[in-house]
């Protein structure tokens, strides 16, 4: 259980902050979105568009549930929290850190949702997704770190401080 697992909304900084956090902590960095793309030979957008949201969630959950890692920082896709098996597996191999930002900050960071491969059902807004996911992130988090108006360096400092408490 020596991994650090980053969860949160798209654009919360999981991948960006995760890379720097891994360097600072002298750990490997794993991005589950990239693993999904490698294993399926498709972009996240292609999977969602061609196979649908439910199929994407099932693929993500299956791949993340089989992830083996040690001494790593793991950045997850924002939708990983829909897969209970995936989240239970991640909690069993590491400490889950929820990168929490308010909706306005998330919204301002997301320029083009279509290119991001965001799991969002038809008729739902980004705000709807935020409201739906927030309690799930909170449910699985071992640590919550608030990152509004933070630089990457400040985010890394806040995460390391929270982990050392």
Q: Higher-confidence residue: 161 or 108?
A: 161
Name the helix (H) or strand (E) containing 96.
Answer: strand 94-100
* Region for 72 from its dihedrals, namely left if φ exceeds 0, alpha if ψ lies in -120 to 50, beta otherwise: beta
CATH homologous superfamily of 3-155: P-loop containing nucleotide triphosphate hydrolases (3.40.50.300)
The alpha carbon dihedral of 65, 130, 28, 116 has a sign of positive
Q: What is the pLDDT of residue 109?
A: 84
Record the pTM: 0.94
Per-residue pLDDT, 87? 97
Confidence of residue 14 (pLDDT cuts 50, 70, 90): very high
Contact by Cβ (8 Å): 97, 77: no
Among candidates 10, 19, 5, which has minimal Cα distance to 152? 19
The pLDDT assigned to 119 comes to: 76
**For residue 96, is pLDDT > 60?**
yes
Domain boundaries, the chain: 3-155
Q: Is the pLDDT of residue 23 over 90?
A: yes
Percent of the chain with pLDDT over 70: 95
* 113 has a pLDDT exceeding 70: no
**What's the chain's average pLDDT?**
93
């Amino acid at each position: 259980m020596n991994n650090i697992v980053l969860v949160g909304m798209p654009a919360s900084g999981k991948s960006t902050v995760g890379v720097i956090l891994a360097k600072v902590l002298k750990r490997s960095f794993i991005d589950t979105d990239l693993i999904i793309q490698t294993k399926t030979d498709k972009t996240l957008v292609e999977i969602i568009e061609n196979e649908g949201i439910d199929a994407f969630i099932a693929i993500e959950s299956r791949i993340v549930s089989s992830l083996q890692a040690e001494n790593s920082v793991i950045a997850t896709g924002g939708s990983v929290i829909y897969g209970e098996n995936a989240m239970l597996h991640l909690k069993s191999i590491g400490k889950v850190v929820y990168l929490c930002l308010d909706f306005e900050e998330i919204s301002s960071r997301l320029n083009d949702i279509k290119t991001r491969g965001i799991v969002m059902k038809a008729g739902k807004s980004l705000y709807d997704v935020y409201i739906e996911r927030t309690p799930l992130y909170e449910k699985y988090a071992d640590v919550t770190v608030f990152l509004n108006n933070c630089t990457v360096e400040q985010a890394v400092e806040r995460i390391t401080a929270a982990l050392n408490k």
